[in-house]
């Protein structure tokens, strides 16, 4: 039987080793994400981003003309995996790197590219996504935030909700309705708007994910110009579909699941063999699911590299990886309940498992609910039959 090789070759292995060394040297052992109650955690992430940018590692696969190194999508995939496995020390920067920047490259004007891409590549700017609204979360195309013509620009009013990082972001990738058509997907437009504008008000939503993650955004008669329109007016839905395909595969959730599952036997030591046989069987099954999710991610990455982005493929990966997030968390919580002693490795593993469980609870809702992912996949399968 041939063994599946996930290594991606010597170059990727060297990059993986380099990233792990940088994380070990520059990220504190107790770091569990940039969005905690401790503002120092955000400072750690911002400093780490700038360090990666100085070494050309933040936007590794971007073209050199936009501040990248022109590396392969597989090398960028290594970066995604190592970052997510270690509590995403880039903080919110992954959003600009994974899809805001590439979308501006494909749809933005030269002026938009000159203005927005260099700060992202240098790790200096945070973006948020103005998509979901009250009553228009999973059914995004039904949104009611409206942009009306005002001379040579637009006036935007409405409300967004569940907007991650809105309290710290400098820019927002905002979707609004500019006209009505026969289908609700028609007449939507993407705007690039500064969060510092007085027409924008942000109200945090407290949740177990911690501060900064979830927010309400109120847009009150916000004045924008045509220069802030990304792509073509009324054609924003096509841009959003592309964005969601890249966003959903851009977070390598399986990497953290696999890292924690692999650590479990080492941390438990002699107690591992005393675990119930059924629990160890479930542990092994979760490792198999990790590899399945990884393969689905690689399939989508390969298709994107060839210019073929299909929502159904991204939806299939998203279904697999978000359910993995939750099922692996349940198994890990049970395993962690058998920890004994107060040694540092056990304490840290327990905290990591708790953190993983907390984040997993929102996995099947964020970036499009799992029900919507199943609908997307079903539609594509029916269309192909």
Distance CA 25, CA 19 (A): 10
Strand 188-194 and strand 229-230: the pairing is antiparallel
Encode the chain (385 residues) as per-residue pLDDT tens digits. Answer: 445 555 666 788 899 999 999 999 999 988 988 888 788 898 999 999 999 999 999 999 899 999 889 888 889 899 999 999 999 999 888 889 888 999 999 999 999 999 999 999 999 999 999 999 998 766 788 899 999 999 999 999 999 998 988 999 999 999 999 999 888 899 999 999 999 999 999 999 886 666 667 899 999 999 999 999 999 999 999 998 877 766 556 678 899 999 999 999 999 999 999 999 999 999 999 999 999 999 999 988 888 777 676 777 888 888 888 999 999 999 999 999 999 877 888 999 999 999 999 888 877 776 667 777 787 778 888 887 7
Q: What positions carry a catalytic annotation?
A: 247
The separation between CA 317 and the C-alpha centre of its own chain, rounded to angstroms, equals 13
* 186 phi, psi to nearest 5 deg: -85, 150
Strand 153-161 and strand 200-204: the pairing is unpaired
- Report the SS3 class of residue 42: helix
Core vs surface per residue 92-121: b (16+ CB within 10 A) or e:
bbbbbbbbbbbbbbebbeeebbeebbebbb
Can you tell me which residue has the tokens 């594509």? Answer: 380
Strand 200-204 and strand 215-225: the pairing is antiparallel
Beta bridge partners of 146: 157, 177
């Amino acid at each position: 039987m041939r063994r599946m090789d996930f290594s991606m070759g010597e170059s990727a292995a060297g990059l993986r080793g380099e990233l792990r060394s940088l994380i070990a040297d520059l990220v504190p052992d107790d770091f569990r994400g940039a969005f905690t109650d401790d503002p120092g955690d955000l400072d750690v992430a911002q400093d780490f981003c700038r360090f990666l940018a100085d070494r050309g590692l933040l936007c590794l696969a971007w073209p050199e003309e936009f501040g990248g190194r022109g590396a392969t999508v597989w090398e960028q995939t290594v970066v995604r995996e190592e970052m997510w496995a270690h509590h995403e020390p880039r903080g919110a920067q992954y959003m600009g790197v994974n899809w805001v920047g590439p979308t501006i490259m494909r749809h933005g004007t030269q002026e938009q590219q000159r203005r927005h891409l260099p700060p992202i590549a240098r790790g200096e700017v945070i973006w948020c996504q103005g998509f979901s609204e009250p009553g228009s979360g999973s059914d995004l195309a039904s949104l009611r935030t409206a942009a009306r013509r005002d001379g040579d620009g637009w006036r935007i009013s409405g409300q967004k909700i569940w907007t991650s990082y809105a309290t710290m972001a400098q820019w927002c990738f905002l979707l609004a309705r500019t006209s009505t058509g026969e289908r609700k997907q028609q007449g939507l437009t993407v705007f690039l708007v500064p969060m510092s504008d007085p027409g924008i008000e942000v109200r945090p939503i407290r949740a177990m994910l911690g501060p900064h993650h979830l927010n309400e955004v109120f847009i009150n008669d916000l004045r924008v110009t045509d220069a802030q329109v990304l792509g073509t007016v009324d054609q924003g839905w096509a841009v959003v579909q592309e964005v969601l395909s890249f966003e959903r595969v851009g977070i390598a959730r399986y990497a953290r699941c696999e890292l924690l599952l692999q650590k479990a036997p080492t941390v438990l030591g002699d107690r591992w063999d005393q675990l119930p046989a059924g629990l160890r069987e479930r542990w092994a099954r979760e490792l198999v699911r990790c590899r399945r999710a990884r393969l689905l991610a690689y399939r989508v990455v390969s298709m994107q590299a060839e210019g073929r982005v299909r929502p159904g493929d991204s939806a299939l990966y998203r279904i697999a990886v978000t359910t993995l997030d939750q099922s692996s968390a349940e198994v890990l919580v049970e395993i962690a309940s058998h920890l004994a002693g107060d040694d540092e490795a056990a304490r840290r593993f327990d905290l990591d498992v708790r953190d993983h469980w907390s984040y997993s609870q929102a996995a099947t809702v964020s970036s499009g609910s799992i029900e919507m992912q199943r609908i997307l996949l079903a539609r594509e399968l029916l269309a192909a039959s």
